[in-house]
Structure 1
Amino acid sequence: MTDTSNFEKLRTPDGGWVGPEELHQVLAEEGYSVGTRKQYLKTLLTRLSKAECKTSKARETQQALMQEVRDILSQEQGKKGQNPISDDV
C-alpha cells in the first residue's frame, strides 16, 4: 500500500502540483524499492488524472508532471522488456 502522505510533498503551498524536477527529488529522498516506486508512480498518475486545476498554469504543471511520471514508468518497463505502462493508461 502506498503512503498517501507522501503525495503532500508533491503539492505546492497553494495546492498545485510541483514540477518534474521536484518529483525526482522526492523519489530520491524517499529511497523507494523498485516495486514500491512503481506503485507510488501509478497511484500518483491516477491522482493527477483525476485532479482539477484552477488555472491554466496549474494545468500545464500538472500535465508536465503526468508526462514525467509516464516517462519514468515507460523507462522502467522498457528495462524489463515490457510494454510501457503509459500505453495502458
Structure 2
Amino acid sequence: WAAWAGVAPRTLSRRFVLETGLTFTVWRQRSLLLRSVEMLIERRPVTTVAFDLGYETVSSFIDLFREHFGTTPGRYLKRSSAPCP
C-alpha cells in the first residue's frame, strides 16, 4: 500500500495510526472479525470462515474471536439467531 501511495512504509504506518487510531494490524484484525460475523450469519461453517479469511488454523480463529467477542463463533451465532422476546 505504501508503494501505491508513493510513501515510505513507516510513513504510511504512522499516518494510518493518526487517521484511524489503530495500527494497521489491529484494524485488519477487526475488519476480518467483522467479516467473519457476516459470514457466520450467512450460515457458513466456522471452518470455512476461518480458512476463507486466511487463518492458518480453525483454533487460532476461534481463539481470536473469543478474545474479541467474549464467546466462540458457534455460541455467538446461536445467540444472535435466537428469536427476540
Question: TM-score by structure 1 length?
Answer: 0.31
- Larger Rg, first or second structure (1 or 2): 2
